[in-house]
Amino acid sequence: MTHMRRAPARRQPVTFQALTHLEVNTSGRGFFEITAEVAAFLAEAGAATGTLTAFCRHTSASLTIQENADPDVRADLITALETLAPTGFGWVHDLEGPDDMPAHVRTMLTDVTVTIPVEDGRLGLGAWQGLYLIEHRTKPHRREIRLIFTGTGVE
Amino acid sequence: MTHMRRAPARRQPVTFQALTHLEVNTSGRGFFEITAEVAAFLAEAGAATGTLTAFCRHTSASLTIQENADPDVRADLITALETLAPTGFGWVHDLEGPDDMPAHVRTMLTDVTVTIPVEDGRLGLGAWQGLYLIEHRTKPHRREIRLIFTGTGVE
Amino acid sequence: MTHMRRAPARRQPVTFQALTHLEVNTSGRGFFEITAEVAAFLAEAGAATGTLTAFCRHTSASLTIQENADPDVRADLITALETLAPTGFGWVHDLEGPDDMPAHVRTMLTDVTVTIPVEDGRLGLGAWQGLYLIEHRTKPHRREIRLIFTGTGVE
């Protein structure tokens, strides 16, 4: 038996949604944290409680929620993605360069979209969680992320 | 410093949700694009702006958002999934055939559910993104996908 | 041509959201099914039709929707995750023990958040689907999951 404990359900009306577009200019392969920008959007929109969805409009860059403390973690995650989808694997699709097809595989293995609960105006992330855009291409790219909040607003 | 640019938040009331069930008859292992069916559902439902969630009700078929241009990309993605979860690995669970357990692993590594922002009646996919059902089993199967839109409607 | 069949769209007003926090005490590495707790939350909240989002507030535990019948499937999934992100790989980040960095990679490859359609008070899972928390660390941990439903309520 797994021991579980569940808090009483809290009910609220759903009143509005708020949207924005976020542009991120990456400096090439790596992790780029966007947590603060998402929090700023929630504050600007007057979001109180509900859900926040982030969506990455690309197939060679993606999203993930990962540890925001030790940078070695992100270095190891890059190593893991390189191992799981090696650059020199012999992919058929290589018209856009040797880093393109591995970027598609790494996008498939991570997230294009994430939905995060929001409570009292704050993202419901855990203490060690940050929201990251992962740039899978070697060179810098301009990436577009759409954000949408659905729920209740601040009074 | 990562350079980011964020558009002003747009607020709207949330008025309705719309649901449907989608059946896809696959011809066996491969990628099956369902973007047009999802767009047709949004049009029929009178969806304007909000979120669209697609949910795949299976553990040996899944969803992914991937490049919709060069078909070589999907061929390479199939190769990647075969490499990551090999058919002849020596899985314990093989009552349903040698292609069943790798199908579960490949489902776990890709997506059972995706949420896509919708703006002005259109899916917020990037230029090269398509929504695909991935059939992981060798033989044809009938697959069920549930779609739900939440947001504002067309006037 | 892929054969598809789509049911007529059903429209409903969106009236409310309900939230809760779920604590799961794991006994160490493995799969812990939370489907029944999520269903109990929906019943308590008076949820009828909409979406349920589950969010795991950790970077070394995650969520997945997988087969709930043969337990051999979960054993094979553990084997697959061990193969994809080996414990003794030589990760740079090892301050928190040899099972910590593989846990981050396995979290990245599976799900931190899932959204499931709800119809007539029931989770829209397929016949063989269950919602699981995956504990990636060797030792027992207390894990927090946030649940939020958005949609219509029971009359």
Q: Tell whether B126 is covered by a domain.
A: yes
CA distance B15 to B30: 38
pLDDT tens digits, C55-92: 999 999 999 999 999 999 999 999 999 999 999 999 99
Q: Binning pLDDT at 50, 70 and 90, where does residue C96 land?
A: very high
Q: Tell whether C114 is covered by a domain.
A: yes
Q: Binning pLDDT at 50, 70 and 90, where does residue B151 land?
A: very high
Sequence-distant (6+) residues with CB within 8 A of A44 are B8, B9
Set of chain A residues whose Cβ sits within 8 Å of the Cβ of B3: 24-25
DSSP string over A81-96: HHHHS-TTS--S--TT
Average pLDDT over residues B54-62: 98
Q: Tell whether A20 is covered by a domain.
A: no
Domain with A114, as residue range(s), is 26-153
Instruction: Choose, out of C113, C114, C135, the residue to mutate when testing the contact with A (most A CBs < 10 Å).
Output: C113
Q: What phi and psi values does residue B91 have, to the nearest 5 degrees?
A: -65, 150
Set of chain B residues whose Cβ sits within 8 Å of the Cβ of A57: 124-127, 129
Q: Tell whether C95 is covered by a domain.
A: yes
First to last CA, chain B: 43
Q: Tell whether B5 is covered by a domain.
A: no
Q: What angle do CA B65, B88, B82 make, to 5 degrees?
A: 20
Q: Give the per-residue pLDDT at B139.
A: 97
The chain B residue lying nearest A148, using CA atoms, is B117
Set of chain B residues whose Cβ sits within 8 Å of the Cβ of A26: 2
CB atoms within 10 A of CB A119: 16
Instruction: Choose, out of A21, A109, A112, the residue to mutate when testing the contact with B (most B CBs < 10 Å).
Output: A112
Could you tell me the sign of the dihedral formed by the alpha carbons of A6, B57, A60, A56, in that order? negative
Q: Give the per-residue pLDDT at A2.
A: 74
Average pLDDT over residues C83-106: 95
Q: How far is CA B155 from the centre of its chain?
A: 28
Q: Binning pLDDT at 50, 70 and 90, where does residue B2 land?
A: confident
Set of chain B residues whose Cβ sits within 8 Å of the Cβ of C127: 57
pLDDT-above-70 percentage for chain B: 99
pLDDT tens digits, B42-52: 999 999 999 99
Q: Give the per-residue pLDDT at A1.
A: 60
pLDDT surpassing 90 at residue C120? yes
Q: Tell whether C3 is covered by a domain.
A: no
Q: How far is B118 from chain A (nearest CA, A)?
A: 9
pLDDT surpassing 70 at residue B125? yes
Average pLDDT over residues C10-16: 94
CB nearest B73 (choices: A53, A84, A101): A101
- CB pair distance less than 8 Å for C34 and A4: yes
Please tell me the total count of domains within chain B. 1
Q: How far is C137 from chain A (nearest CA, A)?
A: 15
The enclosing domain of C104 has a CATH number of 2.60.120.460
Q: How far is C9 from chain A (nearest CA, A)?
A: 21
User: Do B7 and A20 meet the contact criterion of CB atoms below 8 Å apart?
Assistant: yes
pLDDT tens digits, B29-43: 999 999 999 999 999
Q: Binning pLDDT at 50, 70 and 90, where does residue B72 land?
A: very high
CB atoms within 10 A of CB B6: 18
SS3 for B43?
helix
Q: How many CB pairs under 8 A join B and C?
A: 140
Q: Tell whether A2 is covered by a domain.
A: no
Q: Give the per-residue pLDDT at A47.
A: 98
Q: How far is B126 from chain C (nearest CA, A)?
A: 21
Q: Give the per-residue pLDDT at C1.
A: 60
Sequence-distant (6+) residues with CB within 8 A of C100 are C60, C93, C94, C137
SS3 for A94?
coil
Average pLDDT over residues C93-100: 93
Q: Tell whether A96 is covered by a domain.
A: yes
A5 forms beta bridges with: C23
Set of chain A residues whose Cβ sits within 8 Å of the Cβ of B114: 112-113
pLDDT surpassing 70 at residue B1? no
How do the pLDDT tens digits run along chain A, 155 residues long?
679 999 999 999 999 999 999 999 999 999 999 999 999 999 999 999 999 999 999 999 999 999 999 999 999 999 999 999 999 999 999 989 999 999 999 999 999 999 999 999 999 999 999 999 999 999 999 999 999 999 999 96
What are the tokens at B133? 């059902």
